[in-house]
Amino acid sequence: MERVAQLASIIARHTREPGMFASDVPRLSLIRGHAPTDPTPAVYEASLCLIAQGSKRISVGGDSLIYDAANYLVVSVDLPLVGHVLEASPERPYFCCAIGLDMTTLADLVVAQGGAGAPTAMPALAVCPSDPGLIDAASRLVALLDTPGDIAMLAPLIEREILYRLLAGPHGPMLRHIAAGDSHLRQVSRAIATIRGAFDKQLRIRDIADAAGMSESSLHAHFKAMTRMTPLEYQKQLRLQEARRLMLAEGASAGSAGFAVGYDSPSQFSREYRRLFGAPPRRDIAQMQDALASA
């Protein structure tokens, strides 16, 4: 617990207000929260998330996981998830650090350790018991924000240690296959990149499968096993989340936001938006604006 308290203290020192903040350390973000949150959809990039204080529920495709200071979250591929901070207050804030997974370094480590090993059917999202060595390494990475001159030299070394410890952990087999260039998991990662790069376009399963180097049936089976959704369901969530951002951050109307992300039918956009966010576009955005104004 001493290592966890140390990590919480460092995050507190570098986050004065609630929010998610990019840092000067590559691929490192810090999160602070002062209250529980409503379930919030967002795209989580491949990353390690370590909570130093508080707890959070994460959901995908009907499955939910809870993680806290005793359990870390690993997201092996970019996934549209629904996050919900469960424990947080001004007196005892929610503290978390998110460390993006550098697939090049991960692949180097896998090769150095002898390759990917036997295939695995593990999901791309997992919660694992916290490891003291992993927490210690993450604390040292975040602590580099106290000595910015050390970041360029030391951050890559500590990041490599963190990835090494992840490979040695319960989710290591999945990460090994993500890093392997010829694995089904790496092919699904290419499919995800294809969808993210053209989510507002009309995509055919055939085109996504070709980009991934898979048959359509193999793509569907492995994609759903990893992400708990089909490729087109994945695209739909990306579209709706971007539409929400356009309305909230840029003041776009529901009609223009729906059109911008690839919807030809306003009624279909409104119906699918409500199914994901729990309210029609105008009401949802008004509720979010009210919540931000009162925060």
Q: How many CB atoms lie within 10 A of CB 81?
A: 23
Name, in order, each residue with C-beta under 8 angstroms of 63's C-beta and a sequence gap of 6 or more. 123, 125, 228
* Overall average pLDDT of the 115-123 stretch: 64
- Token pair 């089904």 is found at 184
- Residue 199: pLDDT over 80: yes
- Residue 289: pLDDT over 90: no
Please state whether the predicted TM-score (pTM) of the whole model is above 0.85. no
**DSSP label at residue 145:** G
pLDDT tens digits, residue range 10-43?
Answer: 999 999 999 999 999 999 999 999 999 988 888 8
pLDDT tens digits, residue range 33-69?
Answer: 999 998 888 889 999 999 999 999 998 877 899 999 9
The closest of 163, 157, 50 to 101, measured between CA atoms, is 163
Q: What's the rounded Cα separation, in Å, for the pair 16 and 32?
A: 8
Q: What's the rounded Cα separation, in Å, for the pair 99 and 158?
A: 11
- What local confidence, expressed as pLDDT, does residue 249 receive? 85
* Overall average pLDDT of the 210-219 stretch: 93
- What local confidence, expressed as pLDDT, does residue 103 receive? 87
Q: Which of 145-154, 208-217, 248-257 has the highest mean pLDDT?
A: 145-154
- What local confidence, expressed as pLDDT, does residue 292 receive? 64
* H helix or E strand, kind and range, residue 109: helix 103-112
Q: What's the rounded Cα separation, in Å, for the pair 241 and 224?
A: 20
- Which domains are delineated in the chain? 2-178 (2.60.120.280), 182-295 (1.10.10.60)
pLDDT band at 267 (very low <50, low <70, confident <90, very high): very high
- What local confidence, expressed as pLDDT, does residue 112 receive? 86
**DSSP label at residue 148:** G
* Overall average pLDDT of the 84-107 stretch: 95
For a pLDDT cut of 70, what percent of the chain falls above it?
95
Q: What's the rounded Cα separation, in Å, for the pair 38 and 32?
A: 15
- Residue 295: pLDDT over 60: no
- What local confidence, expressed as pLDDT, does residue 121 receive? 61
- Residue 248: pLDDT over 80: yes
pLDDT band at 124 (very low <50, low <70, confident <90, very high): confident
Mean pLDDT of the chain: 90
- Residue 119: pLDDT over 60: no
Q: Which of 150-154, 213-217, 240-244, 245-249 has the highest mean pLDDT?
A: 150-154
pLDDT band at 173 (very low <50, low <70, confident <90, very high): confident
pLDDT band at 132 (very low <50, low <70, confident <90, very high): very high
- Residue 207: pLDDT over 80: yes
